[in-house]
Amino acid sequence: MGCKPLNSELKIIFDDGTVVSGADAYVISNSPYPDTTLELHFNVATIKSAYDAGGEEAVGNLVAHEMTHAVMGATTNLGSFSRWFIEGSAQFIEGGDPNLANAYANNGNNVTASDAIANNIDNAGVIPGSWPVTELNYGTAYAATRYLDYLTTNEYTTSDGIKSVMNYLSSDGGTHTLDQYFAQAGLKNESGGDITSEADFVAAFKADGDEFIDTVLQPTFSNGAADIGGVGGSDAVGDPTGASGIRDTSYAGAVPNITNLTDNPLLGFLEIYPTDNKILASSTMTFQVGSNVGETIDVSLTSLSLEDLNLDALDVVSLGNTAITAFDSALNNVSTIRAQWGAVQNRLESVLAVTATGIENLSASRSRIMDADFAIETANLTRAQIMQQAGSAMLAQANSLPQQVLSLLG
């Protein structure tokens, strides 16, 4: 994809569902392209649902698609490109065969289908023009980008396919347009005519794209294996050997699950996670603070190394403003975690105080039961004995009085 961006700031944001046009993911810019301040948004609900349903592959391809936009946004004049090229390039990297196959099937699975796909390029607008998300639009964009790759590797030129296009567009500070690329590329259409502008390319795709789809693409998108690069294709994008020009352009093959994964898949970008959803390495400890089940307090132990805070690869000399933003974000993360720990500490201290009071009350209760006051209990016993003896004496006197009265009467 041409030159890598140099420490371009990429804010990764996890949305709660309120997203642009209901998109699962999208990249936006806050300034003209090329841009060093980009935002990569993910709709957490829909992506998590897809992932939980076994869609790891689809999620991986979605990220690849959006990261293609991010790389182009950071290195090229993306705002000047037509939608067919923007989305087609992302589909080219992601693996656009399924979209093209569906567009082909939905339009009749025949020459009429390929003709409809080729002529649909007229619907491609320039950002911020509206372009509905449909299988036909994405299939057209993918097919047109494949055709551009094909023309740049056939007998009319010795360039390296879409790679040469990206390299040109990202050179000279990323100021080039597609018209400028076509003006210097020396491309020709199938009839041998010169292609010197984007309009010439669009006309060539409308004239010859249906045959290209039927003869070159259709036999491959039906089974997932595609020849990206036309004749030779020694530098075809995604070719692991750099020689065959063959790669799998299905969703499964475009972003394969390989074992030699990089430690920094976003190399060249300075990833900034907002403080409210920054994902840091953490573990959890659980404290039992009550006598019943569920009376616990969970404490998250969070790692705050330089790598976790995205401070391990800062260029404070060349990109001072970006570095300051990264430091601010790191400080916010540290402050947030300190606040969380302060809240946990307050909860633990409160539980400790309540527990100490409970212990004191239980001890007093036990003392009242086990350690009676001897003097008071002795006095109570004496009182009870006196009352008992007095009662017995009075009862004896009461019993003798009737006898005394009878003796007097006799």
**174: helix, strand or coil:** helix
Please write down the long-range contacts of 15-22, taking CB distance under 8 Å and 24 or more positions apart. Answer: 15/41, 15/42, 15/43, 15/44, 16/44, 16/45, 17/43, 17/44, 17/45, 17/46, 19/43, 21/133
pLDDT in the model for residue 99: 81
pLDDT in the model for residue 197: 94
From 72, 222, 92, 219, select the one nearest 162 (Cα to Cα): 92
Question: Which sequence spans correspond to the domains of the chain?
Answer: 8-254, 281-366, 373-410
Look up residue 196 and give its two tokens: 């010197």
pTM of the predicted protein model: 0.62
From 210, 266, 254, 222, select the one nearest 92 (Cα to Cα): 254
pLDDT in the model for residue 318: 62
d(CA 65, CA 338): 37
pLDDT in the model for residue 18: 52
pLDDT in the model for residue 200: 94
- Give pLDDT tens digits along the chain (410 positions): 444 555 678 888 877 655 454 578 888 887 788 887 888 888 877 787 777 776 777 787 888 888 899 999 989 998 889 889 999 999 888 878 888 888 888 887 777 888 988 988 887 655 545 667 788 888 899 999 999 988 888 656 667 788 889 999 999 888 999 999 999 998 988 888 999 999 999 999 999 999 998 888 877 676 443 333 322 222 334 443 333 345 566 666 666 655 555 666 677 777 776 654 444 556 777 888 887 888 888 877 777 777 767 676 666 776 666 677 778 777 887 888 888 888 888 988 888 888 888 888 888 887 776 666 677 778 888 888 888 888 888 887 777 777 776 777 75
pLDDT in the model for residue 178: 94
pLDDT in the model for residue 155: 57
pLDDT in the model for residue 252: 65
d(CA 32, CA 16): 27
